[in-house]
Amino acid sequence: MPDLLKCIYYGVESYSSNRYFYDNKTRGDGSDGVFVIQRTIRGAAFYRDRREHVRVGPGQAMLFCHGEDSCYGYPEDATEPYELEFLAMTGERSLFDAVRQKAGSRVALAAHSESLAAFQALAFHVREHRFRDRFHESLCGYELLIALLRQAWTGDLLHDPVAAAREYIKNHYSEPLTQQEVAAHVGLSREHLTRSFRQRFGTTPARLCEDLRMGKARELLSLQFRSVSQIAANCGYTDANSFARAFRRRNGVSPQQFQQFAMPGHRPTPSDPTLRSR
pLDDT in tens, 86-114: 999 999 999 999 999 999 999 998 887 88
pLDDT in tens, 197-225: 999 999 999 999 999 999 999 999 988 77
Residue 213 lies in a domain: yes
pLDDT in tens, 19-52: 999 999 998 776 779 999 999 999 999 999 999 9
CATH of the domain at 200: 1.10.10.60
Report the range of poorest mean pLDDT among 82-86, 140-144, 259-263, 270-274. 270-274
Q: What is the overall mean pLDDT for the chain?
A: 89
pLDDT in tens, 170-185: 989 999 999 999 988 8
User: Domain containing 133: what range?
Assistant: 6-157
Whether residue 153 sits in one domain with residue 55: yes
Whether residue 193 sits in one domain with residue 179: yes
Residue 38 lies in a domain: yes
| 278 has pLDDT over 90 | no
Residue 269 lies in a domain: no
Whether residue 150 sits in one domain with residue 46: yes
Whether residue 167 sits in one domain with residue 102: no
Residue 43 lies in a domain: yes
Whether residue 192 sits in one domain with residue 59: no
Whether residue 146 sits in one domain with residue 165: no
| 269 has pLDDT over 60 | no
Strands in 53-56's sheet, in edge-to-edge order, are 21-23, 70-73, 45-49, 53-56
Number of structural domains in the chain = 2
| 79 has pLDDT over 70 | yes
Give the C-alpha separation, 183 to 206, whole Å: 11
Whether residue 112 sits in one domain with residue 86: yes
Query: What is the value of pTM for the model shown?
Result: 0.61
Whether residue 228 sits in one domain with residue 135: no
**pLDDT of the residue at 215:** 94
Contact 154, 172 (CB under 8 A): no
**pLDDT of the residue at 93:** 93
**pLDDT of the residue at 162:** 87
Residue 17 lies in a domain: yes
Last residue within a domain, chosen from 116, 134, 157: 157
**pLDDT of the residue at 153:** 81
Beta bridge partners of 21: 73
pLDDT in tens, 113-133: 889 999 999 999 999 999 999
Angle between helices 205-223 and 179-186 (to 10 degrees): 120
**pLDDT of the residue at 168:** 87
Whether residue 142 sits in one domain with residue 186: no
Listed in sequence order, the residues at least 6 apart from 246 whose beta carbon sits closer than 8 Å to its beta carbon are 210, 213, 214, 237
Residue 75 lies in a domain: yes
Last residue within a domain, chosen from 157, 179, 196: 157
Whether residue 205 sits in one domain with residue 184: yes
CATH of the domain at 125: 2.60.120.280
Residue 199 lies in a domain: yes
Last residue within a domain, chosen from 97, 124, 157: 157
Higher per-residue pLDDT: 3 or 145: 145
pLDDT in tens, 225-256: 778 999 999 999 999 999 999 999 999 999 99
Residue 233 lies in a domain: yes
Whether residue 225 sits in one domain with residue 186: yes
Whether residue 111 sits in one domain with residue 193: no
Residue 243, amino acid: F
